């Protein structure tokens, strides 16, 4: 990550209007978005769209919960070297698919999405479902999950398709119920 250091030593604006959100939150130095290069210009625009998305979600479906750059970027991960939020482990999905505990007639796409839910939040099926009725909304987590699933349709409003499809339950939750900020 020497290049990040070299970038950091280049043009750094004098004032920082972002608090720690854009730098400590994302793990990126100021110059990553603020030097006179096409790459930095692209990142400046990308960060602007990210900021609109955060504001939009916090004013809408996440009004009572709130997220920040850190919620997904986690300061660049434990090694501080990830530009993008970590994504769900596909091998873990395949492994868990083989231990399906729901009804045998459940179609493959539902099994896959339930397996993703379990891995994304780090919970068991019973966190959302009551025994004996897979459709019931008795548990608050079930209702919240339906709202979260609706929220997922908002990402194309802020990004083109390729980027929007990078957002999953795991992007924010990363294996836990709580989402830090
Ligand atoms: C991840 C990209 C990113 C990083 C890192 C970043 N900024 Fe910014 N900065 C932006 C964007 C985008 C804007 C436009 C306003 C906004 O969205 O907040 C901006 C706006 C600014 C402005 C207002 C003038 C302008 O260009 O619009 C200043 C000054 C500034 N940043 C300084 C800093 C400093 C100092 C740091 C490091 C501590 C920093 N920025 C880190 C993306 C970034
Ligand atoms: C809801 C999760 C989430 C939040 C919150 C979030 N990001 Fe991102 N960010 C992503 C994802 C996912 C990507 C990778 C997109 C892709 O693969 O194309 C990304 C990529 C980026 C990139 C790199 C773009 C590129 O093309 O490589 C920058 C810069 C960035 N985010 C800045 C920010 C800033 C600044 C904030 C806070 C204002 C923020 N992000 C908040 C999920 C998030
Ligand atoms: C985070 C909450 C959550 C977890 C964890 C979860 N589910 Fe679900 N499940 C839902 C929601 C919400 C629906 C309905 C909407 C949908 O299909 O996404 C659903 C739908 C289902 C359905 C279809 C019900 C029907 O007939 O309409 C089955 C079967 C099911 N889940 C089984 C499971 C099993 C088995 C697990 C554990 C491997 C599991 N779920 C884990 C939230 C969850
Ligand atoms: C844009 C970020 C984001 C995405 C994407 C997201 N969530 Fe969440 N979710 C949150 C935040 C923030 C909270 C509040 C967590 C807290 O209290 O720390 C939350 C809370 C929840 C809860 C309630 C947890 C509790 O306290 O019992 C459930 C269940 C949940 N999410 C399910 C999902 C499912 C299922 C998906 C994918 C369909 C999803 N989430 C996608 C941000 C997100």
Q: pLDDT of the chain along its 181 residues, tens only?
A: 556 655 555 556 778 999 999 999 999 999 999 999 999 999 999 999 999 999 999 999 999 999 999 999 999 999 899 999 999 999 999 999 999 999 999 999 999 999 999 999 999 999 999 999 999 999 999 999 999 999 999 999 999 999 999 999 999 999 999 999 9
Residue 171 alpha carbon, nearest atom of ligand 2: 2
Instruction: Give the integer Cα–Cα distance in Å for 34 and 50.
Output: 16
Q: pLDDT (tens digit, 9 = 90+) per residue, 165-180? A: 999 999 999 999 999 9
Domain residue ranges of the chain, discontinuous segments joined by +: 1-86, 87-181
Q: What confidence score (pLDDT) does residue 14 get?
A: 74
Residue 71 alpha carbon, nearest atom of ligand 2: 5
170 lines ligand 4 (CB under 6 A): no
97 lines ligand 3 (CB under 6 A): no
Instruction: Give the integer Cα–Cα distance in Å for 95 and 125.
Output: 16
Ligand with an atom nearest the CA of residue 62: 4
Q: How far is the CA of 108 from the centre of ligand 4 (A)?
A: 23
Q: Which residues have C-beta within 8 Å of that of residue 29, sequence separation ≥ 6?
A: 4, 5, 7, 8, 12, 23
Instruction: Give the integer Cα–Cα distance in Å for 88 and 93.
Output: 8
Cα-based distances in Å from 129 to 14, 44, 98, 140 = 52, 42, 20, 10
DSSP three-state, residue 130: strand
CATH superfamily of 87-181: Photosynthetic Reaction Center, subunit C, domain 2 (1.10.468.10)
Pocket of ligand 1 (CB under 6 A): 12-13, 15-18, 22-23, 26, 28, 30, 32-34, 43-44, 47-48, 51
Q: What confidence score (pLDDT) does residue 15 get?
A: 87
Instruction: Give the integer Cα–Cα distance in Å for 119 and 91.
Output: 11
């Amino acid at each position: 990550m020497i290049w990040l250091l070299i970038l950091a030593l280049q043009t750094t604006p004098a004032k920082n209007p972002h608090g720690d959100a854009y730098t400590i939150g994302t793990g990126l130095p100021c110059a990553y978005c603020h030097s006179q290069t096409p790459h930095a210009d692209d990142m400046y625009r990308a960060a602007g769209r990210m900021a609109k998305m955060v504001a939009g979600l916090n004013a809408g479906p996440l009004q009572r919960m709130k997220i920040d750059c850190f919620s997904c970027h986690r300061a660049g991960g434990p090694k501080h070297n990830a530009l993008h939020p970590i994504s769900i482990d596909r091998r873990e999905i395949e492994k868990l698919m083989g231990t399906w505990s729901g009804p045998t007639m459940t179609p493959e796409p539902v099994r896959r999405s339930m397996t993703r839910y379990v891995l994304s939040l780090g919970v068991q099926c019973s966190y959302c479902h009551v025994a004996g009725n897979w459709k019931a909304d008795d548990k608050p987590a079930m209702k919240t999950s339906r709202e979260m699933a609706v929220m997922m349709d908002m990402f194309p409003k802020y990004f083109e398709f390729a980027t929007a499809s990078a957002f999953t339950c795991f992007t924010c939750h990363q294996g836990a119920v709580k989402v830090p900020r």
